[in-house]
Amino acid sequence: MNRFCRHLFATLTATALLASASLAQDAQKPLTNIDIINMVKAGLTESAILATIRSNPANYDLSPDGLIKLHAAKVTENEMQAMITASGRGTSSTPPAAAPPNAAAPPSTKKSRLPVISVVQNGAEQKLSLEKTQLAQTKNKPVSMAKLAGDTAMLQGMQATMNTATAQVASHMGAAGGTLGQVGGTFSGILAQRKPEVTYVWGVLNPVSSAVLSTDTPQVSLDFSTVPGVNPDEFEPVLIKLTPAQNAFRLVGATRGKEDALSSSATDWEIYSGFVEDRVKIQSQKQGPGRYQISPAASLLPGEYGVVLRPISKNKKFSGGDVARNQGDGFMFDSVWSFQVPADQ
């Protein structure tokens, strides 16, 4: 009987050890963007989140779209830097020892992959938020932004695109095509004509920017030197005036393109060669690859403005698929950092 008890005890002990090992393995599953966002929403301190990131394997989405979502969820710069560092370690199941909860973040040799655009006014620096543009189509040629602002069919398409983008972010070519398909429903009469080209219009939601300046001569600092898949020497900053439309959108610019341009992976679309936008004359100083200081050449009139990144060569070719998916060179062209100069300046 004693021998039987000893054998039973040994069996139960071994089973418990195996169960513990299994639980420990489950506890070490790689962290994802959702895990980090949930910790931020739960109100955990930055030091606690940093310690968790450093002590667990990683499976993060660090694409431009993934970083934008992290930024929008209030994930801090230090936390994103720690995520980038953790991704560089790989997904080993044997993570390094956790840092003390109150330990300061170690200096990072990597910069944020997202562009950093700041306005300096009255001696203070204010970061501008990145806004992703949406696309709509119209049969009308882009003569001017003011005329496009009165294009009812295009604005209905813009609203359909905005609604779709809110519900679902396209992550691959097929998803992007689905978004445009809903917009195409608005333009069923246009598409039925099977014209070889249409006008693509870029716009951002809301009639006014949340960034209201206290000066009409802002100094703008830009750093877009580390965007993945982009040669920063091929782009430069441009200041444009945004065109409010139907008290719901601000139009950025427009150009002609093939009906199926956004579903093509070929790098053959010279988007900027005939692009229409309301550019503002600026003074620009290049400080290095992807690093600039710009300011308007004259005081800005009251209104809506945006800093955008444009190819230095107007003949630069883009992939319509990259534009639809907001990645690489398409990410650069789809992004805008807006601000408002109020009437009391």
DSSP-derived 3-state class of residue 15: helix
Angle between helices 46-54 and 33-41 (to 10 degrees): 160
Res. 240: pLDDT tops 50: yes
Q: Where are the domains of the chain?
A: 31-89, 116-341
- Interatomic CA distance for residues 333 and 253, integer angstroms: 11
pLDDT of residue 200: 95
Cα end-to-end span (Å), the chain: 94
What local confidence, expressed as pLDDT, does residue 62 receive?
87
> Can you tell me the distance from the alpha carbon of 148 to that of 245, in angstroms, rounded to the nearest whole number?
9
Torsion angles phi and psi, residue 299, rounded to 5? -60, 140
176-194 average pLDDT score: 38
Quick one: pLDDT at residue 242? Answer: 97
Q: Which of 35-39, 57-61, 124-128, 238-242 has the highest mean pLDDT?
A: 238-242
Given a cut of 50, whether residue 311 has pLDDT beyond it is yes
The pLDDT value recorded for residue 180 is 39
The pLDDT of residue 29 is 83
- By percentage, how much of the chain surpasses pLDDT 70? 74
Q: Cα-flanking dihedrals φ and ψ of residue 136, to 5°? A: -140, 165
Kindly tell me the burial class for residue 87, based on how many C-beta atoms sit within 10 Å of its own C-beta (0-12, 13-18, 19 or more): middle
Q: Name 279's bridge partners.
A: 240
**Number of neighbouring beta carbons within 10 Å of residue 132:** 17
- 304 closest CA partner among 234, 236, 226, 251: 251
Residue 345: predicted pLDDT: 62
Report residue 33 as tokens: 């963007």
- pLDDT tens readout for residues 80-98: 888 888 887 544 444 444 5
Say yes or no to pLDDT of 224 above 70.
Answer: yes
Beta strands (DSSP E) in the chain are 116-121, 124-127, 131-132, 134-138, 197-205, 219-223, 235-241, 243-245, 249-258, 267-269, 278-280, 282-288, 291-296, 303-311, 318-319, 335-341
CB atoms within 10 A of CB 107: 6
pLDDT computed for residue 286 by the predictor: 96
CA distances 151 to 138, 146, 220, Å, are 8, 9, 32
Per-residue pLDDT at 188? 37
Distance, CA of 90 to CA of 147 (rounded, Å): 52
User: What does 319-331 look like in DSSP terms, one character per residue?
Assistant: EHHHHHHT-THHH
Give the confidence band of 109 by pLDDT, cuts at 50, 70, 90.
Answer: very low
Q: What is the pTM of this model?
A: 0.65
Q: What is the residue-averaged pLDDT of the chain?
A: 79
- How far apart (Å, rounded) are the C-alpha atoms in residues 89 and 95? 9
Q: Return the higher-pLDDT residue of 167 and 336.
A: 336
Element at 40 (helix H, strand E): helix 33-41
Q: Which two tokens mark 305?
A: 């403005």
